[in-house]
Structure 1
Amino acid sequence: MTQCPRCGALNRPVAKFCGRCGMPLAPTTPLAIGAVVQGRYRVLSLLGRGGMGAVYLVEDVRVFGKRWALKELLDTLLAPADRAQAIQQFQAEAQMLVRLSHPNLPQIADYFSEGSRQYLAMEYVDGETLEAILERTKGFLTEAQVTDWAVQLCDVLAYLHGQTPPVIFRDLKPDNVMLTQAGVIKLIDFGIARVFRPGRAKDTHIMGTPGFAAPEQYGSGQTDARSDIYSLGATLHCLLTQYDPAAQPFVFPFPSCRSLNSGISPQFDAVIGKATQRDASQRYQTAAEMKQALLPLAPNRLGPILPAAGTPMSRIVGPEPVQWIQTSPMNAMAAYCGACKRDTTWIEDYDGSCTCMECDQSWPAGSVNEVIQAPCKKCSRQTTWVLSDETCTCLGCGQSYNISGVTGTLEAYCSKCKAKAPWVIGDVDYETHRLCLWCGQQR
């Protein structure tokens, strides 16, 4: 069976259009591996495809080692009226994302058209969707893990709803949330997000994924921040119980979480119950309010930490951003600990050291300026490296190298390692230095 990328309905394999919503299901001709788009993006692989386009993993030929996800809209399968609407929606997504900046949102690099195709180049998120995690999980996900994801989602929803005018996502579900290898949530696919317009009685279009969409998204009223809160509650309910709301999309309310998974605490069950109230006025009114209800369920959660408004911030760089941290004498972060053999919470102390809160393992790191994710040869895995003015230190094993003026990272061949390796780039007095994190070679 072929699943419709718009409404999720199952169709016969030979069907060219969805029987429920009319979405084209005919396969598009994918770009060839090695093809260069816009003279800049070389196609490495096909990440996914649907009736109207595809998403590719591409490398930036102008920036060595930089990779992006290239989202494509192929409009030749659409009728003229639908084509204009699809292009307008695609452009609206690009324009919306360009002005947004948050650690739980993908970074946008470029938007352009080539031939009959529209393209959006955005941050490549190396991870998997919560839907994929749910499908491969035997039994139930833990409440502690889902709580951490929920708090991150509350943070990014609060950011979106706090824009002027507010941005309403409208399609929050496990398949639109990715988890990076560093444990950071990324909200993806802004295809149907909209700007909230006060005074409008209802939305012009009924959109969203049946089951995860709030009741008002079916035409009974206008969507607002509380609609996203409902979808967040539905998503958390699905993750904790494996109950698929799409199977019975118009059944309100959901069965209680504890009736499906006795391991869920009454407190978490109550949070989800309030978030998924049919009447929007009975839900949490803001994402921040819902976050406050979740925090007591995760007492050991110290990071990622988002500073209060107006606090100076340092952007974390590297192939996988970990979080945004405060520029202050003390910061908390999630990082792999070699002694504990798992991710733990680390504190940057006032004396310039970083300490694991679980085993007290401590490494001298100087005043941390940035944090990156990169492979460590000694740890034999992806780890967290902290960068100060003069050093780069792996928190997993304490391996440390001297390098000043760090400006970025890249992956390149190392003659000493005889393989592709992670490099840190430093710039001192207008001279560029490169440090291999695997062997310590500098150029």
Structure 2
Amino acid sequence: MRTVGLIVEYNPLHNGHYYHYQQSKKVTGADSAICIMSGHFLQRGEPAVVNKWARAEMALRMGADLVLELPVAFSAQPAEWFAYGAVSALDATGIVDSLCFGCESGSIDWLKAAADKLHQEPEELARLLQLELKKGMPYPAAYSKAVSHLLPGAKEEELAKPNNTLGLHYVIALRRLQSRIEPFAITRTKAEFNQANITDNRIASATAIRRILMTDRSLTGIRPFVPAATLEIMTREWKAGRGPVDWERFAKPLLLQLMHHSPEQLTSFHEVTEGLEHRIRKALADLRPDTDGDAAQALVETLIDKLKTKRYTRTKLQRTLLRILLNHSKQDLSPETLRQGVPYLRVLGFSPKGQELLKRMKKTAKVPIVTKVTTAASPLLELDIRATSVYALGYASPTPDDWFRDYYEAPIRIRSNCLA
């Protein structure tokens, strides 16, 4: 049985994701698919619009056979560590033959060629990167420019595109892990990453879909762009008061964390760098509530606007604030810890075919397979458990069952994969 690995967020799962799933199985000749899916908090430092169990069910109903959680230690990281964590999870299964991702170029050859030169972290790249960072450029742009200088054949404008960047880091991670997994790329169509406007009657980006959800707070507007199963699951979550979740739901606990720590103490948190702690304190002093009474709906957005600079992008700031909200220290997420890759494979759900994959993984997996959660399993798993408790604060009326759901929620089992 050939198995393709997909690295996903499904925030939420839409028709474009279904197209990617179908094409991935087609181009790789895979019989089954394993998803490595971010949990409650995502790569751009945002909370998922619905929880990880709902999104895992979407993936299974779409056709995925096994959904494994990417730990929060990796899921809300810049491209390099996000990719490394996800690829290490696929590699750790011992049964994945291929990795298929979407990117703007759709070509794998230049990504492989670049990864061959970059996976050993050449000193010249570090030097060029520091030169660009000193000019005040944000890290992603500085990295793209440094790579384009180091590799004359690499076009800076192509490297700077978000999914090309992720794709490059996926292939670099495969090289660093000396993985046997073969990478494949599929061209994104009809909706660019982070494209807010809708230009097709069936395909829209997750960004555009979330904008509809947050603007009118109903599911009617997204109906043409998502599978029926996605709509059904989201309707259930909405009725239960578990969505839609966005950053503003965490304004008060975030402010509590920010107010409780001195600037010096803030420096202990992961992602707080280069004097950002002082900028945060100044922004808090300048924060003014909305006189129309909508302050709770705009506090995080206003804070980010006050913190933004050319160097501190929105994504960087969201990741920083998230690490402070979740109480993640630099020690928790040290490079030495992250380089070890995922220390466990947390199962969120599976199909009958996925159950067969799990049986095979018991013999091939390089790390423990977790179906029942205990804090003793790993310090990083404890971070996931705490992330669930914090995420539940974004619900309309959270209960202890929501806060500690990780302890009692068994993996989702479906009898058959069906989008209807």
The TM-score range, normalised by the shorter chain, is under 0.3
Q: TM-score, normalised by structure 2?
A: 0.25
Between Structure 1 and Structure 2, which shows a larger proportion of helix residues?
2
Q: TM-score, normalised by structure 1?
A: 0.24
Question: Taking CA–CA contacts closer than 8 Å with sequence separation of 6 or more, which of the two structures ends up with the larger relative contact order?
Answer: 2
